């Protein structure tokens, strides 16, 4: 079968505004124009770079319309988008890029230093600059000389991979979730049907496109239904206030840190959210005071739940229950099954257990990682590692995480990775990482460290050491030096005891 969403949209609603490009004077782009641009991009990728079905195309860039062009050009060619997290250090990027071995790496001008640092160590055939270029690299602008007619069609199935979206792992090694056409299609179907999206909906796309949230919470579903995305380089509170006031925004997704920053902004008191029909938080637990401040403004602000491996959209809380069931994520979406299990089997009402998810939106598995795939997806059920309860009325609540993980500003931090980096310092004998509350980021990392015999290191020195090896959001914000780290009866680090003693 041929899968080409933009071709369909260009036929069905050619004059409808698909994108608003805030990076270029709020230029409105119709579905007809976007389809032609994606065609030129696909023809460029095929003719100049030799990209064909199954080839990976990596992008290291801030949000921009060109990024979206590449994503949908990949669909036209049957290629696979590898959306790279620009917060990663060069060391981390090398590992992720080499895992997928992309035929091309398309990079933005904000990341010249990173590209220069990794160039000699990555398995990349072609480097392409979106704007500012390093010597010898192709310019993305060459696509403008390519035909805007559709490339020859490629036979695809819903089981073919469209995106490899990297997520962390409990071992600290990134895992590439393979999101197929079927996964992204059914996430869109679930979202449109269950969340009530419509062709006249408009969203702000300022969540990073290296996250499944940027790609799939609203962007792909709105293409499916024929709505509009306002493309922003990144989150800026002033810009959000402007767009909600004047940009016709009806729906928006963000992480709690964004909403906290808005509520601390001078424009908060005068802000009017009455035109929004849906405002949803995801990516991390959201404190109740954030809900209450939006409710006071008459907004049905609610929390969602999702993960890279499934959708991410998984639940829906009906508007009439938003205030009656604070903190609940509601019910599973239309084509989704869930269950809660513990060691004794399925849980009853108000029993806490691990959330399992099944449905056509669940990813195919992890790229080049059959071992982790087998651990995560068993008998068709995705084992999330998240702790959940269901009340007597059937409403679901996310209780916590069974995985040893910290969520900071919507980013997953896996202690094993950070602990490994810290342990590499010659003055460190033992280390454990815990999460501590943070007003801005929700929670941040705190390293509990035992120094080696004769070793001497300060908090600032250790944080600097981490900063050279880890993305900024992974670096602990504080260090506590101790004589010993408590252990459980099984001789494992007693994280509960550490949190009790040092987690305030």
- For 167-222, the three-class secondary structure string (H helix, E strand, C coil) is ECCCCCCCEEEEEEHHHHHHHHHHHHHHHCCCCCCEEEECCCCCCHHHHHHCHHHH
Q: Identify the pLDDT of residue 171.
A: 53
Question: What is the rounded distance in angstroms from the CA atom of residue 221 to the CA atom of residue 188?
Answer: 4
Question: What is the rounded distance in angstroms from the CA atom of residue 180 to the CA atom of residue 54?
Answer: 12
Q: Identify the pLDDT of residue 316.
A: 97
Question: What is the rounded distance in angstroms from the CA atom of residue 291 to the CA atom of residue 302?
Answer: 7
Q: 337 phi and psi, to 5 degrees?
A: -110, 140
Please choose, from the candidates 44, 45, 68, 39, the residue with its C-alpha nearest in 3D space to the C-alpha of residue 57: 45
Domains and CATH numbers, the chain: 29-156 (3.40.50.980), 406-502 (3.30.300.30)
| Entry field: residues in the chain | 504
Cα-based angle 38, 184, 326 (whole degrees, multiple of 5): 125
Question: What is the rounded distance in angstroms from the CA atom of residue 39 to the CA atom of residue 151?
Answer: 7
Q: Identify the pLDDT of residue 387.
A: 85
Q: Identify the pLDDT of residue 172.
A: 58
Question: What is the rounded distance in angstroms from the CA atom of residue 172 to the CA atom of residue 136?
Answer: 35
For the sheet with 428-438, list strands across it: 428-438, 442-451, 478-481
Q: Identify the pLDDT of residue 57.
A: 98
Cβ burial of 240 (10 Å; 0-12, 13-18, 19+) is buried
With a CB cutoff of 8 Å and minimum separation 6, the contacts of 169 are 175, 372, 414
Residue pLDDT tens, the chain, 504 long: 889 999 999 999 999 999 999 999 999 999 999 999 999 999 999 999 999 999 999 999 999 999 999 999 999 999 999 999 998 889 999 999 999 999 999 999 999 999 999 999 998 989 999 998 888 899 999 999 999 999 998 999 999 999 999 986 545 568 999 999 999 999 999 999 999 999 999 999 999 999 999 999 999 999 999 999 999 999 999 999 999 999 999 999 998 889 988 998 999 999 999 999 999 998 877 778 888 899 999 999 999 999 999 989 999 999 999 999 988 999 999 999 999 999 899 999 999 889 999 999 999 999 999 999 999 999 999 999 888 999 999 999 988 766 667 889 988 787 878 888 898 888 998 899 999 999 899 999 999 999 987 678 999 999 999 999 999 999 999 999 999 988 765 456 788 789 889 988
Q: Identify the pLDDT of residue 423.
A: 85
* 3-class DSSP assignment, residue 402: coil
Q: Identify the pLDDT of residue 174.
A: 80
Question: What is the rounded distance in angstroms from the CA atom of residue 220 to the CA atom of residue 251?
Answer: 14
Question: Under a CB-based contact definition with an 8 Å cutoff, are residues 447 and 482 in contact?
Answer: no
* 3-class DSSP assignment, residue 469: coil
The neighbour count for residue 292, using CB atoms within 10 Å, is 12
Q: Identify the pLDDT of residue 399.
A: 81
Question: What is the rounded distance in angstroms from the CA atom of residue 416 to the CA atom of residue 436?
Answer: 16
- pTM score over 0.75: yes
Which pair of structure tokens corresponds to residue 194? 């269950």
Q: Identify the pLDDT of residue 295.
A: 93
Question: What is the rounded distance in angstroms from the CA atom of residue 412 to the CA atom of residue 2?
Answer: 36
Q: Identify the pLDDT of residue 173.
A: 67
Question: What is the rounded distance in angstroms from the CA atom of residue 222 to the CA atom of residue 488?
Answer: 49
Please give the torsion angle defined by the CA atoms of residues 93, 98, 102 and 106, in that order, rounded to the nearest 10 degrees. 20
């Amino acid at each position: 079968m041929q899968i080409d969403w933009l071709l369909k949209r260009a036929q069905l609603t050619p004059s409808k505004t698909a994108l608003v490009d805030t990076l270029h004077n709020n230029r409105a782009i119709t579905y007809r124009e976007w389809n032609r641009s994606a065609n030129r991009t696909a023809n460029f990728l095929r003719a100049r770079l030799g990209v064909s079905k199954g080839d990976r195309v990596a992008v290291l860039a801030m949000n921009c319309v060109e990024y979206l062009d590449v994503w949908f050009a990949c669909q036209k060619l049957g290629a696979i988008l590898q959306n790279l997290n620009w917060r990663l250090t060069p060391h981390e990027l090398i590992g992720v890029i080499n895992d997928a071995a992309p035929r091309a790496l398309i990079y933005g001008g904000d990341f010249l230093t990173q590209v220069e640092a990794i160039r000699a160590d990555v398995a990349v055939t072609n480097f392409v600059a979106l704007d500012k270029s390093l010597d010898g690299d192709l310019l993305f602008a060459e696509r403008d000389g390519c035909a805007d007619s559709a490339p020859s069609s490629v036979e695809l199935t819903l089981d073919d991979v469209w995106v490899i979206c990297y997520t962390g792992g409990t071992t600290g090694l990134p895992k590439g979730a393979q999101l197929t056409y079927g996964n992204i299609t059914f996430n869109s179907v679930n979202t449109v049907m269950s969340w009530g999206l419509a062709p006249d909906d408009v969203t702000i796309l300022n969540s990073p496109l290296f996250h499944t949230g940027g790609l799939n919470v609203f962007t792909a579903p709105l293409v499916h239904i024929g709505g509009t995305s306002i493309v922003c380089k990144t989150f800026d509170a002033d810009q959000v206030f402007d767009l909600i006031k004047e940009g016709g925004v009806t729906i928006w997704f963000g992480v709690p840190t964004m909403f906290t920053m808005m509520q601390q902004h001078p424009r908060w008191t005068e802000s009017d959210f009455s035109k929004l029909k849906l405002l949803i938080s995801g990516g991390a637990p959201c404190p109740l005071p954030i809900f209450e401040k939006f409710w006071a403004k008459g907004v049905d602000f609610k929390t969602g739940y999702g993960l890279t491996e499934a959708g991410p959209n998984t639940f829906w809380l009906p508007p009439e229950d938003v205030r009656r069931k604070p903190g609940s994520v509601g019910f599973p979406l239309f084509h989704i099954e869930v269950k809660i299990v513990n060691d004794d089997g399925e849980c009853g009402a108000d029993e806490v257990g691990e959330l399992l998810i099944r449905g056509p939106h669940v990813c195919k598995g992890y790229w080049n990682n059959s071992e982790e795939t087998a651990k995560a997806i068993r008998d068709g059920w995705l084992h999330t590692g998240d702790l959940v309860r269901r009340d007597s009325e059937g409403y679901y609540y996310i209780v916590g995480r069974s995985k040893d993980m910290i969520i900071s500003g919507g980013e997953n931090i896996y202690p094993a990775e950070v602990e490994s980096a810290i342990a590499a310092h010659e003055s460190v004998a033992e280390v454990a990482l815990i999460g501590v509350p943070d007003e801005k980021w929700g929670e941040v990392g705190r390293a509990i460290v035992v120094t080696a015999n004769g070793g001497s290191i300060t908090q600032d020195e250790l944080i600097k050491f981490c900063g050279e090896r880890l993305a900024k959001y992974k670096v602990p914000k504080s260090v506590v030096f101790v004589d010993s780290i408590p252990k459980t009866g099984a001789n494992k680090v007693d994280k509960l005891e550490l949190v009790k003693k040092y987690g305030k």
